[in-house]
Amino acid sequence: MDILEQRFGVPPHIAGPAATFAFFAFFIIKKMGLLSNTNHFPVEGKTILITGASEGMGLAAAILLAKKGASIILVSRNVGRLEEALVKVTAAAQSPSKQRFTYISADVSEPNYAEAVIAQAIAWNSGAAPDIVWCVAGLSTPMLWADPANDSIAATRRNMDVNFFGSAEMSRAILKEWLAPENKPKETGVIDQKPEPKHIVFTASMLALFAIVGYGPYTPSKWALRGLADTLNMELGMYPEHPVKVHVVYPGTITSPGLERENKTKPQITLDLEKDEPAETPETVAERAVKGLEKGQYNVTVSTLGDLMRCGILGGSERNNWVWDTVVGWVVPVIYFFVIRIMNAQVAGWARQNGHPHVKKAA
């Protein structure tokens, strides 16, 4: 306050509030991470295992992380696509003489698949478990839940097997390795410097933040991932000598072979509701996701819309930033007051125009 008064001639009754405002503004900016360049997700020299890595977002993430100096283990079912992906990822290496790349063929929907994959990864990696595991493998089978022409229960079981249990089994298999007493990280030798944490990254969806009609078989599997991540995030506090960070990525629509497959069963009303959402390339999504991970974010969104939706439904989840998330969390319900009514009106309008969803209109 004295500086404001003496150097700039600011009156005392203004200098006090101005200094207070400046302090809190600095505090908020610092808390939002705008003054920090710390990389909380360094990958150079690390070994990363990625499921669903033969195409789409998984492949794009593998290529990007290879460019940043990581060694990559690609996991997917199709050997032919894995071999093609391996060529692309290897060509992207930052330091080809130091990095290594391989693939493991596995079906993430098969019970107990993950322990065998981790065992193969450890054997290839000179007896060490991967430093980072990113579960990207997933599928979506949109359909109207109550339509008798659809077997929505069978579709839901399939979506849960791939999207939830595929990631859940992988997380359990790698955590058993990371948290084993004999695998305690070595001390850094520097006072007050903790060992670098391992990272487990789940891939959910914006539909785990805001559900819409047509995704009944898919959305529950992604909400389940959120619940598992929140649970593990707390549970891992029981292992302070084995630091592990949990993250959840929430992509929206991605222009990938997976989108082409899901559009084959997607109801028209669903296409109508999401027609204004811009689809992003796998490369864009992967780049934004990695930036969020490097910032140390727990819930990682890849768009402004996704971040608004995240703040609107945090519940007991860890905050990326308490100030920002709280303030935006107050605003989002006001936005939803209008958005939900508009979307429900669209659904009602579609029903009036097209009639009963189970009755096919005459040609």
Question: How far, in Å, CA of 63 to CA of 91, rounded?
Answer: 9
Among 225, 206, 200, smallest CA distance to 134 is for 200
Alpha-carbon gap, residue 113 to 117, rounded angstroms: 7
| Residue located via tokens 């949109």 | 142
DSSP per position, 313-349: T-TTSPPS-HHHHHHHHHHHHHHHHHHHHHHHHHHHH
The pair of structure tokens assigned to 313 is 């439904």
Side-chain-side CA neighbours of 95 within 13 Å: the count stands at: 11
Q: How far apart are the first and last CA of the chain?
A: 78
Nearest alpha-carbon partner for 354 in 211, 207, 144: 144
Active-site residue 218, yes or no?
yes
Rounded to whole angstroms, the Cα distance separating 309 from 230 reads 17
Name the β-bridge partners of 134: 50, 201
- Tell me the C-alpha distance between 14 and 10, whole Å: 7
**Structure tokens that stand for 338 in this block:** 């209008």
H or E element, residue 76:
strand 71-76
Q: Which of 46, 222, 245, 266 is an active site residue?
A: 222
Catalytic site residue 239?
no
Burial of residue 275, with CB atoms counted within 10 A of its CB: 0-12 exposed, 13-18 middle, 19 or more buried: exposed
User: Given 218, 245, 250, 266, which residue is catalytic?
Assistant: 218
C-alpha 76/C-alpha 293 separation (Å) is 23
Spatial separation of the C-alpha atoms in residues 206 and 209, rounded to whole Å? 5
Catalytic residues: 218, 222
